[in-house]
């Protein structure tokens, strides 16, 4: 019988990705409903020592496939390793991050296991019978759909990075590490990674930044925002959709329902009105500062600190001060 919640714990260059820890956090909440275990799956080469980090963040057992075929992410070997784990342990649920890797791998696995997959979820809930309720934006973000998979197991879902909360690491947590070996079918390995060329590093990814300087239509001079971000360690510039639609900002930097969900320590919103689709991506930030010329702007309802002022004037003062 299918049981236990499995989390595909993505690593890149041996670094466990934040989304993996967030998924372990939500998996623990789900597991409380049914008393099931939370198990991590760690794939890669030379990564076994990372298993302790996963246990500290909530995994009961970590299944590790540590093999040179998994040195770099390539869909087929990763799919074979995940299929091996899924067939052997018959999980009731498998969760993936909705990253480029998770979005590639999860559909392959769901097809091989003949089960469903709900992509890009923003909320997960479970009932006592172990049915997973997977909620995701639908119809361009105009409504939320809750999807179930009652007839097949495992129930599979990709979850947006930044939406779920990871648990504080507890180094005293005890768990089991199980080394798995896979019978590879190398005849299916049609792709080989010859070289990896990394994009030049600009500002931090907005999901990883501790502080976001976020700009909306009310910001007339984006240079001021970039200058401020360059002065605050661990910060990056993000934006509302209007600037993305206007071609002034990359979609990678859009916060909101059809952009990214962020949870920084501080979210500084300059000239952003606070439309519901924007709030959906940032209202879980730890501390929100809003700067807006309109004292009735909805953003002030979620702000911890509101400043009714011209964005450019505030940028100027802060850039002078820092
Ligand atoms: C299906 C759907 C999905 C969407 N997804 C997203 C999404 O992911 N992310 C997103 O952001 N939006 C999204 N939107 C769009 C959203 O509804 C809003 O239109 C958008 O967020 C508004 O952006 P804004 O706050 O920059 O602009 P506006 O709403 O035009 O607000 C500009 C604000 O700037 C203030 N202002 C003007 N001048 C100044 C100044 N000099 N100094 C300070 N403040 C000033 C104004 O008072 C105003 O409050 C979506 C919409 C739909 C229908």
Residue 193 maps to a domain: no
**Mean pLDDT, range 193-203, rounded to an integer:** 77
Residues 17 and 130 in one domain: yes
Give residue 289's domain range.
211-321
For residue 241 and ligand 1, the question of a CB distance below 6 A is answered with yes
Residues 252 and 147 in one domain: no
Q: Distance from the CA of 99 to the center of ligand 1, in angstroms?
A: 26
For residue 280 and ligand 1, the question of a CB distance below 6 A is answered with no
pLDDT 10s digits, 22-44? 999 999 999 999 999 999 999 99
Residue nearest to atom 27 of ligand 1 (CA): 217
Residues 215 and 290 in one domain: yes
Residues 110 and 49 in one domain: yes
Residues 285 and 139 in one domain: no
Number of domains in the chain: 2
Q: Distance from the CA of 161 to the center of ligand 1, in angstroms?
A: 23
Residues 158 and 268 in one domain: no
Q: Distance from the CA of 272 to the center of ligand 1, in angstroms?
A: 5
pLDDT for the residue numbered 170: 97
pLDDT 10s digits, 52-78? 999 999 999 999 999 999 999 999 999
- Rg of the chain (C-alpha set): 21
Beta bridge partners of 5: 38, 93
- The region of weakest confidence among 82-86, 102-106, 206-210, 268-272 is 206-210
Q: Show which of 147, 173, 188 is a domain's final residue.
A: 188
The two tokens of residue 20 are 């993996």
Instruction: Write b or e for each residue in 130-140: b if 16 or more Cβ atoms lie within 10 A of its Cβ, otherwise e.
Output: bbbbbbbbeee
CATH of the domain at 253: 3.40.50.1220
- The region of weakest confidence among 71-80, 99-108, 131-140 is 131-140
Residues 137 and 218 in one domain: no
pLDDT 10s digits, 156-188? 999 988 889 999 999 999 999 999 999 999 999
The two tokens of residue 132 are 């997973």
Pairing of strands 15-16, 11-12: antiparallel
Which stretch of DSSP H or E encloses residue 288?
Answer: strand 288-292
For residue 296 and ligand 1, the question of a CB distance below 6 A is answered with no
Q: Is the pLDDT of residue 202 over 80?
A: no
For residue 307 and ligand 1, the question of a CB distance below 6 A is answered with no
Q: Show which of 156, 188, 220 is a domain's final residue.
A: 188
Q: Which of 138, 224, 292 to mutate to test the pocket of ligand 1 (most atoms within 8 A of CB)?
A: 292
For residue 240 and ligand 1, the question of a CB distance below 6 A is answered with yes
Contact 116, 158 (CB under 8 A): no
Q: Model's pTM, two decimal places?
A: 0.74
Strands ordered across the beta sheet of 176-179: 117-121, 155-159, 93-97, 5-8, 38-44, 61-66, 176-179
Q: Is the pLDDT of residue 139 over 80?
A: no
**Ligand 1 atom at minimal distance to the Cα of residue 311:** 42
């Amino acid at each position: 019988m299918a049981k236990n919640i499995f989390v595909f714990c993505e690593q890149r260059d041996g670094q466990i990705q934040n989304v993996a820890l967030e998924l372990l956090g939500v998996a623990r909440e789900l597991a409380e409903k049914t008393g099931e275990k939370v198990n991590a799956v760690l794939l890669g080469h030379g990564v076994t020592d990372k298993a302790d980090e996963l246990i500290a963040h909530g995994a009961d057992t970590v299944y590790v496939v540590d093999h040179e075929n998994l040195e770099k992410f390539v869909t087929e070997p990763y799919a074979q390793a995940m299929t091996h784990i899924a067939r052997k342990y018959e999980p009731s649920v498998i969760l993936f991050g909705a990253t480029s890797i998770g979005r590639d791998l999860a559909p392959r696995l769901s097809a091989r296991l003949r089960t469903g997959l709900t992509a890009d979820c923003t909320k997960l809930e479970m009932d006592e019978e172990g049915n997973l309720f997977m909620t995701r934006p639908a119809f361009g973000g105009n409504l939320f759909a809750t999807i179930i998979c009652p007839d097949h197991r495992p129930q599979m879902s990709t979850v947006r990075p930044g939406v779920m909360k990871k648990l504080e690491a507890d180094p005293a947590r005890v768990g089991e590490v199980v080394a798995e070996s896979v019978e590879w079918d190398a005849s299916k390995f049609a792709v080989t990674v010859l070289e990896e060329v990394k994009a030049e590093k600009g500002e931090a990814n907005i999901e990883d930044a501790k502080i976001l300087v976020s700009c909306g239509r009310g910001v007339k001079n984006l240079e001021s925002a970039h200058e401020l971000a360059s002065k605050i360690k661990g910060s990056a510039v993000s934006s509302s959709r209007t600037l993305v639609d206007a071609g002034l900002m990359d979609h990678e930097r859009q916060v909101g329902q059809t952009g990214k969900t962020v949870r920084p320590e501080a979210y500084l919103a300059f000239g952003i009105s606070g439309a519901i689709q924007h709030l959906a991506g940032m209202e879980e930030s730890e501390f929100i500062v809003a700067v807006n010329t309109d004292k009735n702007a909805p953003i002030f309802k979620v702000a911890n600190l509101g400043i009714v002022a011209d964005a450019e004037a505030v940028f100027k003062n802060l850039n002078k001060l820092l």
